[in-house]
Amino acid sequence: MKGLQFAGGNRPLSILCFGAHSDDIEIGLGGTILTLIETNADLEVYWCVCSASGKRADEAEASANAFIGNGARQHLEFGNFEDSYFPSQSPQIKQWMVDIRARTTPDVVFTHTRDDAHQDHREVCELTWNVFRDQLILEYEIPKWDGDVGRPNMYSPISREHMDRKIDLLETHFGSQRSKDWFDDELFRGLARIRGMECRAPDRYAEGFYMRKGMLAF
């Protein structure tokens, strides 16, 4: 499988990551972020979580700092929208995104997939497409009991080291989620192994994304 590179080692790269909840970005593209930090000398990361308050905000901030470290210029944005009620808060969330857009012009925007069964995730995706019309948008997947993982058409190979690091950081920083039966090493590693098989990743692991629309510039 041939790959496309959207940034070289010395080329500035700005990415914007939207997550509905405190651990979404890490689960969906934590390995990809670790890879981008390692391979891009000049990287800027906007890390934006819509619903993060109290303990969940503390977890989100500590986790974001751990994932990004000193490897990139970081901007953390935490909203306090009510978990599980995003569709009813759509105007407010859209304005929050518009305010973020005024501060950055990212090369790539990561968001939830539009086919996600969780209403909060779907709303974030829809608003991302509505607000960011001049960027490459890649949608990431979140495994859950709904059984809604699909067929990605873009893959980001992950080294074994980055896969281990992603899982370690998830388990370290999200103590509030450890009691949930889906939040464990086997699930995260299992999905990444399937995606790695699908794209023949060198180290057997990958994260899957959906690219709905893009433009080739040769």
Task: Please report, in tens digits, the pLDDT of each residue of the chain (218 residues total).
Answer: 667 666 555 668 999 999 999 999 999 999 999 999 999 889 999 999 999 988 999 999 999 999 999 999 999 999 999 999 999 999 999 999 999 999 999 999 999 999 999 999 999 999 999 999 999 999 999 999 999 999 999 999 999 999 999 999 999 999 888 888 889 999 999 999 999 999 999 999 999 999 999 988 77
Question: Structure tokens of 73?
Answer: 């210029």
pTM as predicted: 0.95
How many domains does the chain contain in total?
A: 1
* pLDDT value, residue 179: 82
Half-sphere exposure of 25 (CA within 13 A, CB side): 31
Place of tokens 């990809």: 32
The whole-number pLDDT of residue 50 equals 98
CA distance 24 to 60: 10
Any domain includes 75: yes
Is residue 8 one of the residues assigned to a domain?
Answer: no
Position 6 in a domain: no
Handedness of CA 217, 7, 152, 65 (dihedral sign): negative
Q: Does residue 34 lie within any of the structural domains?
A: yes
Q: Which CATH number goes with the domain that contains 92?
A: 3.40.50.10320
CA atoms of 170 and 206, how far apart (whole Å): 17
CA angle 63, 43, 189 (to 5 degrees): 45
* Residue numbers of the domain that contains 132: 13-210
Compute CA distances 172 → 29, 59, 123, 166, 205, whole Å: 17, 9, 28, 10, 21
Distance, CA of 82 to CA of 89 (rounded, Å): 8
Query: Does a structural domain hold residue 29?
Result: yes
Position 150 in a domain: yes
Q: Do the beta carbons of residue 159 and residue 35 sit within 8 Å?
A: yes
Query: Residue 3 domain-assigned?
Result: no
Examine residue 4 and state whether it is found in any structural domain, yes or no: no
